[in-house]
Amino acid sequence: MKPNQQGLRRVLNASVYSWQGLKSSWQSEAAIRQEIVLIALLTPVAFLLHVSALERAVLLLSLYLILVAELINTAIEAVVDRVGADFHPLSGKAKDVGSATVLVMMLCTALTWVCILLPLAN
């Protein structure tokens, strides 16, 4: 994107680049595909549940934050791989922390769904 672009042109270009990132991630990362399928399956479930609007929003937000974490992890991995194939402890740490971010978000999402759905089961 050219630094002097403004307004609608900048927004349109940014949208194209974002779409390219999603498309590339979908094509190269099985985890992204799995998480998008999970989101596609659980989003309608969130709308079918008898919960408040706020609870529904939290359920949906927790799902989409898994995808956000995975996209960031994918970006970290791409940068580390671009820097070089030689092992370096900091490269390993960056990849491990990125992966841990996804795991923590998955745990938060599971806990969120349990906390909201458990009272419905009683």
Active site residues: 70
DSSP 26: H
Query: How far, CA to CA in Å, does 96 sit from each of 10, 87, 108?
Result: 34, 13, 18
Sign of dihedral through CA atoms 90, 31, 46, 113? negative
